[in-house]
Amino acid sequence: MRIQLAALTTAAALALAVSACSPPAEDNSSDGGDTAKAATATSAKDLGSLDDLVEAAKKEGELNVIALPPDWANYGNIIKAFEGKYDIKVNSAQPDASSADEITAAKSLKGQDRAPDVFDLGSAVAVANTDLFAPYQTEKFADVPADLKDPKGTWVNDYGGYMSIGFDSSKVPAPTSLADLLTPAYKGKVALNGDPTQAGAAFSGVVMASVGNGGSADDIAPGVQFFKKLKDVGNFLPVDPTPATIESGQTPVVIDWDYLNVSQGEKLKGKVEWKTVVPANAVVGGYYVQAINKDAPHPAAARLWQEFLYSDEGQNLWLAGGARPVRAESMEKAGTIDKDAFAKLPAVTGTPVFPTEAQNTKAKEYLAANWAKAVA
């Protein structure tokens, strides 16, 4: 999941794909029992209540997840909390897999008890595969903004963030804009998290650079030119950053999602003076997508997992990992958000840009033709 292009919200494209591709609901009534009921449940009420869903999920006893690195958005602790709360074993397969790998696994393992029950996808992959999803609305479904979900719950955005600059404040001055990264203080120090023709974070980093340099999500040429300038002045560092490269000082400046940069700071506290800033007037955001596999081998557990993720507890666990939970606004109003964790998120100044799928497609094509020659 963590290497696909552009995990950005594209509500209109997803909604269109759902209406165009969704097949009629399968009739699983012949299966009998709670599993058959759960497989067609579109809310906990279809099983009677949330307590009935919990009981059905406990009978299944397992949940299959895929492509969830334990250090990504706090998923390690989220899985532990779910297991501890419901006494359900979580089988975590291929934690470093891509969104495309998730879909491949669902198709190749269909009908087997090892198939993934749930998905956490980038929107580009989600758009192309809505026919694999089962609609479901959690008890907190109404709290999710309308433009961040399918009306039937076929897909729902879950957590996200903004592109940012992480930096070791003991080695470089605090950048106040992208332009600062072109100055001599950052010579040989600025890394991008991956190749933007392949990695979602790097792709969004180029979009951010474009927005901050007179371009837009429709025109990312200024972003590519920014990185060319960064290379020409000797500041661009063609090294994929890791906790080890940050701790060693090899990559003292990293362009990445804010929740990943914030997480690095927490992990390296006491070792590195790591700070995170979202550049003013270059605010590019994105959300990932949750969905249930319509052929989930543990359909009740799959639905209970969704209930947990969108509960206050689940949302705050994402927040503890530096990610911005999709229900943050409603939780802040209700007073249920983790105020300390929320206060640690980098400040955001300016109007956020959320590229559409059409813009992403156009940008990918431009990058494929121009990125390598710009930074080679």
Mean predicted confidence (pLDDT) in 144-162:
94
Mean predicted confidence (pLDDT) in 184-194:
96
In this model, does residue 27 exceed pLDDT 60?
no
Write down the pLDDT at residue 11.
53
Q: 71-80, 132-141, 163-172, 351-360 — which is least confidently predicted?
A: 351-360
pLDDT bucket at 99, cuts 50 / 70 / 90:
confident
Q: 2-16, 29-43, 212-226, 330-344 — which is least confidently predicted?
A: 2-16
| In the chain, % of residues over pLDDT 70 | 91
pLDDT bucket at 110, cuts 50 / 70 / 90:
very high
In this model, does residue 98 exceed pLDDT 90?
no
Mean predicted confidence (pLDDT) in 233-248:
95
C-alpha torsion sign, points 78, 80, 83, 84: negative
Mean predicted confidence (pLDDT) in 330-358:
92
Mean predicted confidence (pLDDT) in 15-44:
63
In this model, does residue 53 exceed pLDDT 90?
yes
Write down the pLDDT at residue 33.
65
d(CA 4, CA 206): 15
| In the chain, % of residues over pLDDT 90 | 75
Write down the pLDDT at residue 129.
93
d(CA 325, CA 144): 10
